[in-house]
């Protein structure tokens, strides 16, 4: 096939794949994958193929807000390979942004089907986040999975209010949510720029602010899980920018 014709055929397949993905058409996406298809996620160092690939794709389409994926330009095509640049925001159920990342995919086509996708992603880090270095590969989660973790964690805190227990620990939360301690710590740092205990204390301060103002502030703090007055004061100022006495 002449080079121009090959590029045109590649672009047609990639555009069809993107359209199926955008409307959540799992069967349409899978029909475009070669039997030897591999998805290589360089952020986490994982390679998906076969049934693992199908589970991975279905999980993403089931959980992603697909309309938040923004292509930054038209695909660039060179023969059997297309290059796509995009940005994606993982959001919570209330629409708030949990984690955003940009990525470039190299999509290779063979025999009219997609045979390989290499995804190179970069998480947008908040102020306070540490350098990721090789930690992403150690925890084994890609950028979307990090966003899903943050959403699962937020739902757990909202529904179960584990922070009300003064002795709440990272291992206990990890066990309850089905993640490892390292995964939760990494997701909080890279997605929110927070440590686990900063995250817990923010939840406790939100509980204090939403509780009955008729009760004393220290009584409300103890009810929210704070054991130390000094820790409560420091957390209150960090979250609100004020000392407890400056507001009800």
User: What is the per-residue pLDDT across 14-63, written as a single tens digit (0 to 9) for each?
Assistant: 999 999 998 889 999 999 999 999 999 999 999 999 999 999 999 988 88
Q: Considering only CA atoms, which of 104, 115, 103 is closest in space to residue 17? A: 115
C-alpha–C-alpha distance, residues 49 and 227, integer Å: 49
Mean pLDDT across 104-131 = 88
Q: How much is the mean pLDDT over the chain?
A: 91
Q: What CATH fold (topology level) applies to the domain 3-194?
A: Nuclear Transport Factor 2; Chain: A, (3.10.450)
Q: CA-to-CA distance for 149 and 177, rounded, in angstroms?
A: 9
DSSP 121-168: EEE-PPTTPPP-TTHHHHHT--HHHHHHHHHHHHHHHHHH-GGGSTT-
Mean pLDDT within 114-135: 80
What b/e string do you get for 46-63 counting C-beta neighbours within 10 Å, with b at 16 or more? bebbeeebbebbeebbee
Helix/strand/coil for 113: strand
Model confidence band, residue 248 (pLDDT cutoffs 50, 70, 90): very low
Q: Between the CA of residue 117 and those of 5, 106, 134, what are the distances in Å?
A: 21, 6, 21
Average confidence (pLDDT) over 218-223: 96
- Report phi then psi at 167, rounded to 5: -95, 20
- The full set of domain ranges for the chain reads 3-194, 200-246
CA–CA separation, 97 and 119 (whole Å) = 22
| Cross-strand pairs, 100 | 89
Q: Tens digit of pLDDT for each residue in 164-186?
A: 999 999 999 999 999 999 999 99
Nearest to 205 by CA among 169, 243, 172, 178: 243
pLDDT value, residue 127: 62
The answer to whether the CB of 103 falls within 8 A of the CB of 88 is yes
């Amino acid at each position: 096939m002449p080079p121009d014709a090959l590029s045109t055929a590649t672009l047609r397949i990639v555009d069809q794949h993107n359209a199926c993905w955008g409307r959540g058409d799992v069967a349409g996406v899978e029909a475009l994958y070669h039997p030897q298809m591999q998805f290589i996620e360089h952020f986490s160092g994982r390679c998906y193929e076969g049934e693992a690939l199908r589970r991975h794709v279905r999980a993403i389409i089931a959980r992603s807000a697909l309309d938040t994926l923004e292509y930054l330009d038209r695909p660039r095509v060179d023969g059997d390979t297309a290059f796509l640049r995009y940005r994606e925001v993982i959001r919570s159920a209330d629409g708030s942004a949990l984690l955003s990342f940009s990525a470039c995919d190299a999509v290779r086509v063979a025999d009219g089907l997609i045979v390989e996708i290499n995804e190179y992603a970069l998480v947008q880090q908040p102020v306070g986040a540490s350098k990721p270095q090789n930690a992403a590969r150690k925890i084994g989660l890609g950028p979307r999975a990090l966003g899903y973790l943050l959403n699962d964690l937020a739902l757990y805190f909202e529904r179960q209010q584990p922070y009300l227990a003064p002795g709440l620990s990272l291992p206990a939360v990890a066990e309850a949510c089905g993640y490892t301690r390292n995964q939760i710590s990494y997701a909080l740092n890279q997605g929110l720029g927070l440590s686990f205990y900063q995250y817990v204390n923010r939840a406790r301060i939100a509980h204090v602010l939403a509780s009955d103002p008729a009760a004393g502030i220290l009584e409300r703090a103890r009810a929210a899980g704070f054991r130390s007055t000094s820790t409560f004061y420091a957390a209150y100022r960090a979250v609100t920018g004020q000392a407890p006495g400056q507001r009800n």
